[in-house]
Amino acid sequence: MILFLLLFFTFLQSAPLKDAVYDSTIYTIQLYRGDNPLTLPYLLLNEQQYLTLTFDKIGTEVISDYVIDFIHCNADWSPSTLLPIEFYDGIMPLFITDFQLSRGTLIPYVHYEIRFPEASSRFKVSGNYIVRVYRQSAPEEVVFMRRFVVIEPQVRIQPLFTWAQQQGRHRFQQLQFRLYLSNIPIENPQQDIKVAVLQNFRWSTAQWFYTPTYLYPNFWEYDLNTGMAFPGGNEFRRVDLRSVRRYAPSLRIYVTDSGYTAILKPDVPRTTIPYLRNPDLNGFYYIRSYDDNDSQLEGEYIWVTFLLDFEPFFNAPIYVMGWLSLWGNDSRFQMRYDPNLGYYRCDVLLKQGVYDYCYAVLTQQGWDETPLEGTHQETENFYTILVYFRRFSDQYDRLIGIRHVNYYD
């Protein structure tokens, strides 16, 4: 317990936390609401619901002392000053007791799964949270971290999409919304409320609002003005690995000494290609195999080669982007230019399933998909509005509202 508290206070001094993986043998990290892997990881305060966390460790070594704990964070994902006893009613850490070795796969792995909170436990307060995975025998070595949120619904949110007003508006998406705050004791409208708008639940490109555009007696109105509209982006590309026998014409699958290998047809930039509506998963993925009965334990891992036909005319890293790479937080998805092939290339293990992806450049200003994917106002995207409340005397940011809405659904 003493060691746990020391580690906890160390995190209090750290920078904002994020989704990250620190163990190169860990793959296919998924955190979702209930039993649906295509849902966002959130809980409502005091509801009878759980989150599911799953991941695989490549190899045959069975680690029986993986545990998880939670870190409560402020709105900007810096750790809050709350102690575990103040935000969680239950025992920490929690042991991951559901683990099994894969069956009959060319690349062996151990599959782990845990649901939280347990039936006798609960989160006491709303806000941003980090679930942290590590070994009980080595608590200082974090295996990976994932973000989730807990909401206490106190505010009604009414969204409204409008045309972006800036030059080149056909490339952007603009969102207006109203907050109905009649149940919240607002002392300072300029400081107590802040709102985050996320595109496809992606924190690195979130837009933040600290001041309402208009104040009305019954509601506040916010407008993504000229500098804060979202680039529409493009529909995601897709790789379908559900079968190693009946595969799509866009890839070739071979059996080698190191397991299955899939080489994708070289992709090309889409900046000059007209927009084409193509239903996608908005950057998500799900695990599924047509070749077996239990995809989680019998699904194969495949060495997938992504190829991008693009000349390296600028000095900036290119990544395979989406939830498969934790939106750029997994360095294994960085592409390298192969002069022998004349393509950018990335070789990475993926479990059988369906994956959305795109290509992004890491600039000094942050991630940018536009140079490789283009951007269109018509693109279907998934938006999440999160409302945080904190008075001057409060210790932490409460999360009092959430609203999901699809653009051009």
* CATH code of the domain in which 211 resides: 2.60.40.10
- Are residues 74 and 146 located together in one domain of the fold? yes
Residue 38, classed as helix, strand or coil, is coil
Q: If pLDDT is split at 50, 70 and 90, which confidence band does 297 have?
A: very high
Question: Tell me: the pLDDT tens digits for 83-134?
Answer: 999 999 999 999 999 999 999 999 999 999 999 999 889 999 999 999 999 9
Which of 95-99, 172-176, 210-214, 352-356 has the lowest average pLDDT?
172-176
Q: What is the average pLDDT across 327-334?
A: 94
- Are residues 221 and 163 located together in one domain of the fold? yes
Question: Tell me: the pLDDT tens digits for 134-154?
Answer: 999 999 999 999 999 999 999
Q: What is the average pLDDT across 260-288?
A: 93
* pLDDT, position 9: 47
- Are residues 224 and 278 located together in one domain of the fold? no
- Are residues 185 and 219 located together in one domain of the fold? yes
Residue 296, classed as helix, strand or coil, is helix
**Alpha-helical segments (H) within 245-330:** 295-298
- Are residues 163 and 243 located together in one domain of the fold? no
Exposed e or buried b for every residue in 336-373, given b needs 16+ CB within 10 A?
eeeeeeebbbbebbbbbbbbbbbbbbeeeeeebbebbb
What single-letter DSSP state applies at residue 327?
G
Domain that holds residue 46: 2-151
Residue 171 vs residues 87, 230, 266, 370: alpha-carbon distances, Å: 42, 9, 26, 10
- Who's near 257: CB < 8 A, 6+ residues apart? none
- Are residues 251 and 359 located together in one domain of the fold? yes
Token pair 């409560």 in the structure block, residue? 72
- Are residues 139 and 12 located together in one domain of the fold? yes
* pLDDT, position 213: 87
The reported pTM is 0.92
Token pair 């709350």 in the structure block, residue? 82
- Cβ 173 vs Cβ 161: under 8 Å: yes
